[in-house]
């Protein structure tokens, strides 16, 4: 297979590069643990939303860089997209961009507060305006609720099919995915296993997927 050259970086004065430089300096939320973790500035049709960085991502400097990320990128590899290519060609965001800290009970990460989510939403709104995505990938319950604009009763309701929504004023297609956390068994058993496969097939069939990854598969 012929190697596909990397896409050129955006110029320093590109609005998304300027936006990202301001974003990584954000310290508005007193109860989260910086640094800000976000993807590279890339012109793309695909807009990825995770939930929040984990404890390791801040030191590594990129989202989904630990155990959950390994699972996530194994999923995308099944439809022909490597981790390196995905990171280079998809704008990766999250509901909040700093590690929220550990929960007081249960051993997992703390669920971000409404105020923290709203603070980060202001950054995301501007990103949607600049990027103008055609397809949004929402990973995990918090991200799904951010895109859907409503509370979610069950993942079974939304994971799998192509859906349409007005997201921060922009009409977009979107696909819901489960979170690849090792603490979750939803995507490992039915109906989650099948619905995850459906979501990946929906992504692979979308025109934005072909335009984004067609020369790299």
Q: What is the helix (H) or strand (E) element at residue 210, kind and residue range?
A: helix 207-213
Domain enclosing residue 183, as ranges: 35-216
CA 26 from centroid of its chain's CA atoms: 19
pTM summary value: 0.95
Q: How far apart are CA 43 and CA 29, in angstroms?
A: 28
CATH code for position 164: 3.40.470.10
Q: Which of 43, 44, 63, 40 is nearest to 53 (CA)?
A: 63
Q: Evaluate whether residue 123 is within a structural domain.
A: yes
* C-alpha torsion 144→185→180→23, nearest 10: 50
Q: Evaluate whether residue 9 is within a structural domain.
A: no
Q: How far apart are CA 210 and CA 158, in angstroms?
A: 23
Q: Evaluate whether residue 175 is within a structural domain.
A: yes
Q: What is the 3-state secondary structure (H, E, C) of 108-166?
A: CECCCCHHHHHHHHHHHHHHHHHHCCCEEEEECHHHHHHHHCCCCCCHHHCECCCEEEE
Residue 1's pLDDT is: 41
Residue 5's pLDDT is: 64
Domain count for the chain, please give it.
Answer: 1
Q: How far apart are CA 82 and CA 98, in angstroms?
A: 25
Kindly give the confidence (pLDDT) of every residue in the chain, 217 residues in length, as a single tens digit, with 9 standing for 90 and above.
445 567 778 999 999 999 999 999 999 999 999 999 999 999 999 999 999 999 999 999 999 999 999 999 999 999 999 999 999 999 999 999 999 999 988 778 999 999 999 999 999 999 999 999 999 999 999 999 999 999 999 999 999 999 999 999 999 999 999 999 877 889 999 999 999 999 999 999 999 999 999 877 6
Q: Evaluate whether residue 117 is within a structural domain.
A: yes
Q: Which of 170, 163, 65 is nearest to 126 (CA)?
A: 170
Q: Evaluate whether residue 195 is within a structural domain.
A: yes
Q: Evaluate whether residue 121 is within a structural domain.
A: yes
CA distances 104 to 67, 111, 181, Å, are 22, 10, 19
Q: Evaluate whether residue 81 is within a structural domain.
A: yes
Q: Evaluate whether residue 13 is within a structural domain.
A: no
Q: At 149, phi and psi to the nearest 5? A: 75, 25
């Amino acid at each position: 297979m012929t190697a596909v050259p990397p896409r050129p970086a955006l110029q320093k004065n590109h609005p998304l590069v300027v936006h990202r430089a301001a974003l990584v300096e954000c310290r508005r939320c007193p109860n989260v643990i910086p640094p800000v973790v976000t993807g590279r500035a890339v012109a793309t049709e695909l807009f990825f939303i995770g939930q929040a960085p984990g404890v390791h991502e801040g030191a590594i400097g990129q989202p989904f860089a630990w155990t959950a990320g390994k699972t996530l990128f194994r999923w995308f590899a099944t439809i022909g997209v490597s981790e390196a290519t995905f990171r280079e060609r998809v704008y990766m965001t999250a509901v909040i961009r700093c590690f929220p800290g550990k929960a007081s009970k249960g051993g997992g990460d703390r669920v971000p507060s409404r105020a923290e989510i709203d603070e980060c939403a202001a950054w995301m709104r501007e990103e949607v305006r600049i990027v103008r995505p055609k397809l949004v990938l929402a990973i995990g319950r918090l991200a799904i609720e951010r895109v859907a604009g409503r509370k979610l009763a069950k993942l079974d309701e939304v994971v799998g099919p192509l859906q349409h929504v007005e997201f921060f004023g922009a009409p977009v297609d979107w696909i819901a995915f489960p979170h690849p956390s090792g603490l979750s068994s939803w995507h490992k058993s039915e109906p989650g296993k099948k619905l995850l496969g459906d979501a990946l097939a929906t992504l692979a069939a979308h025109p934005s997927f072909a335009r984004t990854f067609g020369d790299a598969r």
